[in-house]
């Protein structure tokens, strides 16, 4: 079990916080079992704003995954399909309890000196 930091666009980060987005889609996932995601809200916010429990990982073809998760996707089907493009497999973290930070942090505050492209493991 471990924690990862994910850079997420502010539009989607806010939907996770509001719990209208219960799935975080990814083209690839880490090899370790993830139990928590720390949310880095990207430009223009550029802050670590919250963390969310990971209840599990779902994977399937992009179309099947969309059909199974679209109600709480927090994204349009067009954007979703564009994101997965010609991929054969799509992944989604199933999200649970959200904890919003009262004082958002910078990446440097948590020991990271760059903005990761996809994810970075954090020490628990």
Residue 114 has pLDDT above 80, yes or no: yes
Host domain of residue 37: 2-122
Tell me if 87 sits within 8 A of 62, measured CB to CB.
yes
Q: Give the CATH number, domain containing residue 68.
A: 2.30.130.30
Give the pTM. 0.94
Which two three-digit tokens encode residue 94? 């199933």
Give the whole-number percent of the chain exceeding pLDDT 70. Answer: 99
pLDDT of 124 reads: 59
Which two three-digit tokens encode residue 83? 């994101």
**For the chain, how many structural domains are there in total?**
1
pLDDT category of residue 30 using cuts at 50, 70 and 90: confident
* pLDDT, tens only, 62-109: 999 999 999 999 999 999 999 999 999 999 999 999 999 999 999 999
- Whether cis (ω within 30° of 0) applies to the bond prior to 44 is yes
pLDDT of 121 reads: 95
CB burial string 61-70: b at 16+ within 10 A, e below: ebeebbeebe
């Amino acid at each position: 079990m471990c924690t990862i930091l994910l850079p997420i666009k502010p539009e989607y980060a806010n939907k996770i916080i509001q719990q209208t987005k219960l799935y975080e889609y990814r083209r690839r996932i880490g090899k370790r079992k993830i139990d928590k995601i720390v949310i880095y809200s990207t430009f223009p916010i550029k802050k670590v704003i919250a963390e969310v429990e990971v209840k599990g990982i779902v994977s399937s073809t992009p179309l099947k995954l969309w059909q199974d998760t679209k109600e709480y996707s927090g994204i349009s089907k067009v954007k979703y399909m564009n994101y997965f493009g010609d991929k054969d497999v799509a992944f989604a973290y199933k999200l649970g309890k959200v904890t919003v930070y009262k004082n958002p942090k910078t990446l440097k505050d948590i020991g990271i000196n760059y903005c990761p492209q996809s994810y970075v493991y954090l020490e628990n």
